[in-house]
Chains A and B, each alone.
Chain A
């Protein structure tokens, strides 16, 4: 037995016993947190180590048990004896599977089916089965030790060969997908999901088990299984299949694994002769002679034989890789010679290295450089992750070690030499810039740098007397003034910013003081003087604020610069022709705002590339130029930076989006009736709709628009979408130039004061009671020919009803904009408008639903700011 499996079996038994004993103890004392933690950890560890073997059903069953225990551990699900029974049952079953592994080194043949049924039971306790798919942590652990799935050879040779030739990298994913029987009821459409799966090379489809007789079929029950080869990364595939990840089994295999000859082996001395000849040509690097030997032999033997198949693979290899990847080539030649393909030992723990194909030096080196650069980029990510100050210093030292070692590994002496300075710069000023710039050069080929005396003015040339720091000498010896730049640590700017913010709040205090002077002390003169002073201070603070903001401004080109590469890579991969037009890259915005914009922007660009712009053929058929245009435009509008991403692709069909939303129950039929096209296409921002894979093909906009929206809203901005079917789509994002100061309106409700961000407020009106009508369960009123639904703030906040409510003959209604909808919010009264610094909820308030933050008022009161999006 493989030593790793020999190690696993006793460990698994031990863990099962720990878990089992723990479960029994729990039944006696369900509240014991330490016991439940132990059980959870035992099951978790078992899941982790089982992932090293080809025991998918076992891993998935243990995984389901782990998820259930996780919920029990956090108290989401109370433990009852029913759950204990089922968990114990499942652990017992795992125990029997371990026995089978010990005797036969394989799970029983019915394991898959038994697992499916047990998992279903265990998952039935979990509140939302779909959340399992959302959480990447629950991705099923697929085998990596025995990587190549047994169904790979069932792909016809021609299909495997086409895939082999189309591959852009040395590895690919072989994965199977068995949608669950009830998936149609959840709105899943596996065929559509596959159609959009990344990098599909070829696939097979069929029933999992033979179909039942046609008449006894359930047309709404999914019985299919798909086997797919994809040229993509594990991460991308995981992302695409994330909602059904537990139904997917993904293996990463080498392209050489595709080259598996099939057929019946023929016999004869001719094959031995070929082997000797082929190895000679190989040793002599004579590709042409080898190709000739292969085609000669091919004409002599039966095309259906194993050897003919192997020869065709040699041809394919030669045409793709020439004489590179020699190990793979030798293996195929051996297959021709012996009639058997030698094992391609890529067992991770395997000790024999003889059969290991040695990558050609250049290929291995390129991959090594890539990995090194990835690790280096992660180090920057590490440093960007906030850490406890007590360990931040140590972490920086570790990062420095890693970067130094990477430089050594690649022999990059430039980086090794520059590293200490860049690290010191970061340590002293917190400026990551130099380090980041340096890391990006890792392993780059540098031209020989001429010795300094050849570029500096030679000593013989006169240096003008006026030359001084801050001036440069051009080639004619003229002195030009350079802008003098001061490098300042960002944290210093931030602390000035905070002081300005406090000053703004303190300034607001003056207007309270003026009111008090007038009302309490009856002195209108003093009040007037305070107000005059207030105006002066107001002007100065505003100037100060603008000044500090300007320091933090960065051009959007910082974010845009990655797009040319992104667009080029993706459009090549998709086989589309796309021209990228970028405008307004000098537009500036606050550093934090730009950072928050980066990810949504990538989503939007990817959507245009993936779903918006059609393939050249489709475009030609639609009478458009073959090349699509993707345009990214930035500009400043008052206090906002506006970014538009537009394409001239196929656009979004409002009717289909509407129909889909209706079908999914996201909108009512009445609502659908009222909706115009513009409102309908904006439904793609709805989480329920935009996460459904199927929609991406209907709408031209798919997964992730809800993510875009929530990121933009979090940054205080808004996003909207316009689309003309067949002509293209335009997504507009508006973000505040800065994030620091928020203008709010305060309102009163049940004697308490709350703040609402001004950006949400449309207008305030008073509405007579008789003008409020009920439509079904909803109160509404009409504002200039538009029906506006009403929400009562007191009710939304669960504040007590009071008797006077019923007697009021008119209501104070604040019309607010939530997303693209307008809602009338009934409050007790309107108060003043203020500029405040909204701070996130902290301490006891953290996580309080319905509020986005707090603000300190001039009189020292703490104001709660409402989160309308969440509340209404």
Chain B
């Protein structure tokens, strides 16, 4: 089963993603900011990161920049999810190393489909049945 690391300072948001993604067959781990995210990312392997932008201590851009500079983590896909919806925010996310930019609040179906596709899986088990 694919492993996802959710990095967001809001516990509500983390719970929301967790429920959606567990439903879609992911194993979920959480971190409350970029620093904790890096620590977790170093200690076990993930198939995808979901990263918030604004977080205390270390924000999403910095987190992405760090993983893309680290050989063991550089190839792990990452989706940045933020409330900021300007073109410039997306450009900044892509410059920092995100593979996709989504705007909060995200639709459950959108998040599931994208996360599954990005981790190499077809339609969700529910859809395929």
Contact = CB atoms under 8 A, between A and B. Distances in A.
B12 A395 contact: no
Nearest to B19: A349
B42 interface: no
Contacts of A367: 113
Given A348-B16, A395-B68, A401-B77, A41 B113 contact: no
Given A137-B84, A349-B16, A378-B100, A368 B107 contact: no
A577 interface: no
A438 B49 CA distance: 26
Given A394-B67, A394-B74, A141 B104 contact: yes
A45 B9 contact: yes
Interface residues of B, number: 60
B105 A405 contact: no
Interface in A537-560: none
B25 interface: no
A126 B59 CA distance: 26
A560 B78 CA distance: 34
B81 to A, nearest CB: 9
Contact of B104 (A51, A356, A365, A379): A51
Given A4-B16, A51-B104, A378-B100, A398 B76 contact: yes
Interface stretch (A380-388, A447-455, A663-671, A788-796): A380-388
Interface in A390-407: 390-391, 393-395, 397-402, 404-406
B27 interface: no
B97 A359 contact: no
A49 B70 contact: no
Contacts of A411: 122
B99 interface: yes
| B9, B68, B116, B129 interface centre (most CB from chain A within 10 Å) | B68
B10 A368 contact: no
Contacts of B105: 48, 51-52, 141, 143-145
Contacts of B127: 358-359, 364
Contact of A375 (B67, B68, B118): B118
A12 B108 CA distance: 22
A409 B68 CA distance: 24
Interface in B100-129: 100-101, 104-109, 113-114, 116-123, 126-127, 129
A250 to B, nearest CB: 12
Contacts of B98: 382
A139 B86 CA distance: 10
Contact of B83 (A44, A143, A349, A372): A44
A116 interface: no
Interface string A11-44: 1100000000000000000000000001001001
B16 A52 contact: yes
B25 to A, nearest CB: 12
Given A4-B15, A404-B120, A388 B77 contact: no
A402 B120 CA distance: 8
A386 B86 CA distance: 18
A299 to B, nearest CB: 37
Contacts of B13: 48-49, 52
B74 to A, nearest CB: 3
Interface string B34-60: 000000000000000000101110000
- Among A353, A386, A410, find the residue whose CB has the most chain B CB atoms closer than 10 A: A353
Contact of A7 (B15, B78, B95, B113): B15
A378 B102 CA distance: 11
B117 A371 contact: yes
Given A7-B15, A371-B113, A405 B119 contact: yes
A638 interface: no
A305 B89 CA distance: 52
B83 A252 contact: no
Given A390-B69, A391-B68, A405 B117 contact: yes
A365 B123 contact: yes
B65 A388 contact: yes
Interface SS majority for chain A: helix
B105 to A, nearest CB: 4
B78 to A, nearest CB: 7
A351 B123 CA distance: 18
A444 interface: no
Contacts of B86: 135-137
A379 B16 contact: no
Given A348-B108, A402-B77, A402-B118, A391 B12 contact: no
A51 B83 contact: yes
Interface string A594-629: 000000000000000000000000000000000000
B123 A364 contact: yes
Nearest to A372: B117
A144 B12 contact: no
Nearest to A9: B12
A3 interface: yes
A325 interface: no
Interface in A637-696: none
Contacts of A365: 123
B75 A349 contact: no
A363 B121 CA distance: 17
Contact of A405 (B77, B96, B100, B106): B77
A387 B75 contact: no
A64 to B, nearest CB: 14
A44 B104 CA distance: 12
Nearest to B18: A349
Contacts of A378: 99-101
Given A388-B65, A391-B97, A405-B77, 18 more contacts: A3-B19, A4-B12, A11-B11, A12-B12, A48-B105, A49-B16, A137-B83, A348-B108, A349-B23, A351-B19, A371-B113, A371-B117, A375-B99, A390-B69, A394-B74, A395-B74, A397-B74, A398-B77
9 contacts: A4-B12, A11-B10, A48-B13, A51-B104, A356-B126, A388-B95, A397-B74, A405-B77, A409-B117
Closest 6 pairs (CB-CB, A-B): A348-B108, A394-B74, A394-B68, A405-B120, A391-B68, A397-B75
Interface of B: 9-13, 15-16, 19-20, 23, 52, 54-56, 65, 67-71, 73-78, 83-87, 89, 91, 94-101, 104-109, 113-114, 116-123, 126-127, 129
